[in-house]
Structure 1
Amino acid sequence: MKSLHRPLLALIAAGALALTGCGTTEEPASGSSSAAPSASGAPVSVIDARGKTVTLDAPATRLVGTEWNVLENMASLGTMPVGAADVKGYNAWVQAAKLDDSVKDIGTRGEPSIDTVAALDADVIVATTDLPEAAVAQLEKLAPVVVLKSADASNQIGQAIANLNTVAALTGTQAKATEITSGYESALAAGRTALETAGLKGTRVAFADGWVADGAVSIRPFAKGSLITDINTELGLVTPWELEGDEAYGLASTDVEGMTKVDAEHFVYITNSADGDFTDELKSNAIWNSLAFVKAGNVHRLEDGIWMFGGPASMTQYVNAIVASLTK
């Protein structure tokens, strides 16, 4: 199984199943980000996840992003980055806000090419707390760096919205950020109504992703505290996962045998055609085929390109996809 869909820390700590995603915090007072330009062309000042004040002379137009949720926010706000980490992987996994052909690939999410970034003459580089401090220090020699907190399992939705708002403050696109957030809230309200009308309020939905390595299937539950489960809860769905997720992303780990302990009515997952479908490996697995949701035909693969650790654009895409899948 390819590792494109794993968040950055899982790439850095090879073999770890429950690690990172993307985001920042909800309130500026919590030490993540704040502030905005007072007028077009006016100076911009934000406080990042390190508690560091970063000031730009004017809203940024040449941005570099080192993580996919940051890049999604840039693109969804209409501020196409000049440089992006792992463009090929982004284009495979993030369809809510596509990157155009002008964007320069700066290398991997965990190890951006300093030489490549240096040539881009960026106004600002936006990173996350998943990027090693040594890499951040190198990037700061090239341009101002704003570091956003990667994730917080206590407030994933608010964090994702604040992350978008920080990028909007840096680029002077606050009105567009409000539009995107309002779109998510509208989709959520419509989805909640559609599920309730279909008699699905309170349905137990287990969301996970997975991969195949050396012929064995690993399953990664999105437990309580994950962004996906927080969205499902807002939709009126219930997570049956009793596993404890990590404190940042709410991600856990299990295998096919562990699925027998899950009291789920539906199983929902996202994979990518480029990486293959891990459930294909389970089609002849007796344990998998004995599970109630499998026997009932309630296994739902959502469309490619919904980033499970994304910003409000991906969140809206996910809401529409899961509601359509459960109600069809």
Structure 2
Amino acid sequence: MKRTTALLAAALFLLTACGTSEPAASDDTSDAAAQPVSVTDARNKKIDLKAAATKVVGLEWGVVENLVTLGVMPVGVADTKGYTNWVTAAKLDPSVKDVGTRGESSVDAIVALNPDLVITTTDESANTIAQLEKAAPVLVVRGADAANAIPQMKTNLDLVAAAVGKAEQAKQLNADFDKALADGKQKIADAGKAGEGFTMADGYKQGSTISIRMYTTGSLLGAVATELGLKNGWTGAGDKDYGLAQTDLEGMTKLKDGNFLYIANKNDGGDVFGGDLAGNAIWKNLPFVKSGNVHRLPDGIWMFGGPKSTQQFIDATVQAVTS
């Protein structure tokens, strides 16, 4: 997903995945891993592979995180520098090739890697997908679904796992996420913070203009915070995919006190809340600023990632709310 461009609308399809054989739980050299694989992607298109993919290119950071977490290091990634800045839950090997920017990847660079499979999201242009399909199978997952944020995250992991023969690993990763969520909810309840208000945002500056994105209950992180037992103070609607709402500083004046959680990155965009707005009179008079309830979460938690990034968010949020 691009941080500063409008989100592309994507049709709501049921993501399904199936394999012609059960992939081995931990042995990629097994006979099962060498069997043909068939998956049906977010376009409702069937992708047939001669065997579980091992040379994979990932064009969105969420699918790349899932690949690395599953133990499949991609051969190519769109914007490796950006990924390194934003996704610390699943680090890339230095050998991974950069294939351009997200949304404007280099077809030539991808083809040169001779991949078994290219994985992207419904945010990718149909024209780019069509070009790539001339050289390699392309698996498309839905970027996000504001109506089912957490289930969509899990489904995307399952779909990627089916294509690379790692279904059992995905099952365990999703179970680990569920446990982390339950443990975090219990910690918040034990601290007497259940039902406490929160808002979640990120912000960026273009020229002299500061834009703020609010994470509604339909966003992945908003949904997770709600499942932790917190109450989202931003009640406005977001987009149908990522559950994000655009606002400005004046728009935040309607917010009440509570925990204000935000994500920034010193290597990409800096901290508009702790820096650019620190001396602003409107900002300083917001209830959560006056009460000292502003929490910058650690850099490198990808807001649109898989279970591992989202578990980082769980840990950081529990720490912020209970400390």
TM-score bucket of the superposed structures, by smaller chain: over 0.9
Match of 1:282 in 2: 277
Correspondences of 1:1-328 after superposition (within 5 Å): 7-8=1-2, 13=5, 16=6, 19=7, 30-38=13-21, 39-274=32-267, 275-279=269-273, 280-328=275-323
Following superposition, the deviation at residue 215 of structure 1 comes to 2.5
Mapped to 1, the partners of 2:81 and 2:148 lie a distance apart of 30
One-letter amino acid of the structure 2 residue matched with residue 174 of structure 1: A
Mapped to 2, the partners of 1:154 and 1:115 lie a distance apart of 36
Q: Does the 8 Å contact 2:78/2:100 carry over to 1? A: yes
Cα deviation per residue 1:262-320 (whole Å; 9 max; x = unaligned)? 12411000111112101111111111111111111110000011011111111111101
Distance verdict in 2 for CA 1:290–1:197, change over 3 Å? same
Following superposition, the deviation at residue 20 of structure 1 comes to 6.4
Following superposition, the deviation at residue 133 of structure 1 comes to 0.3
SS in 1 for 2:51: coil
SS in 1 for 2:71: coil
Mapped to 2, the partners of 1:224 and 1:213 lie a distance apart of 27
Cα deviation per residue 1:112-149 (whole Å; 9 max; x = unaligned)? 11111111110111111100000000000110111111
How many residues align? The count is: 311
Q: Which structure is higher in RCO with an 8 Å CA cutoff and minimum separation 6?
A: 1
Q: Which moved more, 1:215-224 or 1:49-58?
A: 215-224
Q: Does the 8 Å contact 1:300/1:325 carry over to 2? A: yes
Following superposition, the deviation at residue 24 of structure 1 comes to 11
Q: Does the 8 Å contact 1:76/1:313 carry over to 2? A: yes
Following superposition, the deviation at residue 77 of structure 1 comes to 0.5
Q: Does the 8 Å contact 2:220/2:303 carry over to 1? A: yes
Q: Which moved more, 1:215-224 or 1:135-144?
A: 215-224
Q: Does the 8 Å contact 1:217/1:255 carry over to 2? A: yes
Q: Unaligned regions of 5+ residues in structure 1, if any?
A: 1-6
Name segments (4+ residues, structure 1) moved above 6 Å: none
One-letter amino acid of the structure 1 residue matched with residue 121 of structure 2: T
Mapped to 1, the partners of 2:307 and 2:285 lie a distance apart of 36
- Aligned CA-pair RMSD: 1.7
Mapped to 2, the partners of 1:31 and 1:144 lie a distance apart of 20
Mapped to 2, the partners of 1:61 and 1:161 lie a distance apart of 21
Match of 2:28 in 1: none
Distance verdict in 2 for CA 1:293–1:185, change over 3 Å? same
Cα deviation per residue 1:140-159 (whole Å; 9 max; x = unaligned)? 01101111111211001100
SS in 2 for 1:319: helix
Q: Does the 8 Å contact 1:209/1:270 carry over to 2? A: yes
Following superposition, the deviation at residue 37 of structure 1 comes to 4.4
One-letter amino acid of the structure 2 residue matched with residue 42 of structure 1: Q
Following superposition, the deviation at residue 36 of structure 1 comes to 2.4
Cα deviation per residue 1:93-124 (whole Å; 9 max; x = unaligned)? 01110111111100011011111111111011
One-letter amino acid of the structure 2 residue matched with residue 249 of structure 1: Y
Mapped to 1, the partners of 2:229 and 2:257 lie a distance apart of 15
Mapped to 2, the partners of 1:36 and 1:303 lie a distance apart of 38
One-letter amino acid of the structure 2 residue matched with residue 243 of structure 1: G
Mapped to 2, the partners of 1:232 and 1:20 lie a distance apart of 25
Following superposition, the deviation at residue 223 of structure 1 comes to 1.3
Q: Point out the structure with the larger strand share.
A: 2
Identity of aligned residues (%): 48
TM-score norm. by structure 2 comes to 0.93
Q: Does the 8 Å contact 1:148/1:163 carry over to 2? A: yes
